Amino acid sequence: MKRLAILLAAPLVALMLTAAEPPAAPDRPLADATQEARAQDLFKDVRCVVCQHEAIADSPAGVAGDMRRLIREEIAAGASDQAVRDDLVRRFGDYVLFTPPVRAGTWLLWFGPCALLLLAAAVLALRARRRPVEAVPLTPEEERQLDEVLRNEKLRRDPDATSPHDGR
């Protein structure tokens, strides 16, 4: 009995796993061309909350279609672009805008990269200011050995070296 229930439930589970988000409703542009142009400009500045790397203007996700419809409704109702942005931020957070506002909560986002560059420059400057480690002078015995090696180097020819006059 248990096996029969599993066999009957398997196709249903497979269908549920392969189900995708329904496609977005087709966009209906605004009748007023200037309002539609404003909406299109806003679409490019608003991030799709599903895709996260795409503007809602380019996203095929159903949520992006809903966001486009919401923006068009607010513009048709007479809302300013800033009022539409503020409403989207209220609903979805600062992340919904590709260029979030500068405020205390977004300082790290805006100024963090510059702060990291300044910190790296400071570390490099401090390291460059360090005095190099002075070498310990050679003992008289080490000086004698070095002189002997250098004298022998001048007399011994390198077997791997070739002269440009060898004609090879």
| Tens of pLDDT, residues 54-110 | 999 988 888 899 999 999 999 999 999 999 999 999 998 888 998 877 888 778 878
The DSSP 8-state label assigned to residue 48 in this structure reads: -
Give percent of the chain with pLDDT exceeding 90.
Answer: 38
Specify the 3-state DSSP secondary structure of 98: coil
Q: What is the mean pLDDT of the chain?
A: 83
58 strand-pairing partners: none
The one-letter code for the residue type at 138 is L
Q: pLDDT tens, 149-164?
A: 888 776 656 667 666 6
Quick: pLDDT tens for 113-133.
999 999 999 999 988 888 777
Please state, in angstroms and rounded to a whole number, the distance separating the CA atoms of residues 78 and 32. Answer: 12
Are 58 and 24 contacting, i.e. CB atoms less than 8 angstroms apart? no
| Tens of pLDDT, residues 32-45 | 899 999 999 999 99
45/123 Cα distance (integer angstroms): 37
Residue 50 CA to residue 30 CA, distance in Å, equals: 25
